[in-house]
């Protein structure tokens, strides 16, 4: 799919101008300020594929292959980015949980040291 797109030198019309396939990876998934984003681009491409004229009497061409390729590429990039965002969120949550556990371990170790007698603590200091 990407090889075909690069061979065709596909460009995507956005509010930012024409973008190449590589440029799509830099677009945000959504935007509240009306800036170019993947969601709006996918909606536009989806509408274009739905609004094709159809004749039930004469043979019509199936959906324009290039238009379908554009839509499939944008959809693939969206799905990839969503998967990456979810993985990053999971990694962040795991990192935070690990920090909490390490803090509790430190707290328990300090409590264990605090429970030792002065004599035991002095012996520990001398052995260091």
Q: Environment class of residue 55 by beta-carbon count within 10 Å: exposed (0-12), middle (13-18) or buried (19+)?
A: exposed
Domain tally, the chain: 1
Closest Cα to residue 37, out of 10, 69, 15?
Answer: 15
Q: What is the pLDDT of residue 49?
A: 76
33-49 pLDDT tens trace: 878 899 989 998 888 87
Domain with 53 in it: 2-127
Q: What is the pLDDT of residue 113?
A: 85
- pTM exceeds cut of 0.85: no
Mean pLDDT confidence for 72-97: 95
Determine the Cα–Cα distance for residues 114 and 84; give it in Å rounded to an integer.
45
CB atoms within 10 A of CB 76: 13
Residue 60: pLDDT over 60: no
- Is the CB of residue 29 less than 8 Å from the CB of residue 10? no
Choice between 17 and 60, residue whose per-residue pLDDT is larger: 17
């Amino acid at each position: 799919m990407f090889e075909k797109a690069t061979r065709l030198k596909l460009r995507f019309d956005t509010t930012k101008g024409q973008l190449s396939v590589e440029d799509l990876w830099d677009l945000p998934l959504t935007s509240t300020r009306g800036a170019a984003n993947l969601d709006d681009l996918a909606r536009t491409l989806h509408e274009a594929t739905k609004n094709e004229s159809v004749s039930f009497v004469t043979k019509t061409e199936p959906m324009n292959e290039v238009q379908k390729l554009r839509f499939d590429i944008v959809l693939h990039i969206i799905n990839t980015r969503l998967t990456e965002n979810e993985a990053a969120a999971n990694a962040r949550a795991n990192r935070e949980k690990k920090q909490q556990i390490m803090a509790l371990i430190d707290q328990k170790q300090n409590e264990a040291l605090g429970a030792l007698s002065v004599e035991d603590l002095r012996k520990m200091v001398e052995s260091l």
